[in-house]
Structure 1
């Protein structure tokens, strides 16, 4: 499944930065599990990342929001662990 900016069936939201290898790692894991998600691309400058700061309390990406489970988290390693534990799988 491919991420789209306005996927009405998606419940997961991934805040990401173009060209960020950590963000791409999360996107690949979401795709592996066939999870629909919405990508929200952020500005390159931390000072311009107000939307993600409001949602997650951080200006760093990636950030994954899973509202169905009340989860908002940053840091790619933690996000991968969460996706594996929640949606099945055993790491890379």
Structure 2
């Protein structure tokens, strides 16, 4: 299952959620702290602290909403 590291108010995260819904993909939302200094998990995964970040079931990690949407379209569309 895809894990989406995000927070609800983020418009870039909303873009990714829309694409996941459009492709009818199951995913787990993982809320990250709004305080950037506390985003240790996504820093470990992607090397940066910005959201959104996805972790696919095969271990692929993608950050940046445009790259995530492109990845989802290529793999699941």
| Fold equivalence (TM over 0.5) | yes
How far apart are 1:54 and its partner, in Å?
1.9
Q: Which one has a larger percent helix, Structure 1 or Structure 2?
A: 2
Q: 1:30 aligns with which of 8, 14, 20?
A: 20
Q: Under a length normalisation based on structure 2, what TM-score does the superposition of the two structures give?
A: 0.91
Could you say which structure has the larger radius of gyration? 1
How far apart are 1:52 and its partner, in Å?
1.4
Match of 2:36 in 1: 46
Identify unmatched segments of 5+ residues in structure 2: none
Q: Under a length normalisation based on structure 1, what TM-score does the superposition of the two structures give?
A: 0.78
Deviations 1:28-78 (A, max 9, x none): 11111111100011111110111211222221100011132x310100000
Match of 2:4 in 1: 14
Moved over 3 A (4+): none
Identify unmatched segments of 5+ residues in structure 1: 1-10
How far apart are 1:82 and its partner, in Å?
0.6
Any idea what SS the aligned residue of 2:5 has?
A: strand
Structure with larger RCO (C-alpha < 8 A, sep 6+): 2
Work out the number of aligned pairs and report it.
77
1:57 aligns with 2:47: yes
Match of 1:84 in 2: 73
- Give the aligned CA root-mean-square deviation in angstroms: 1.1
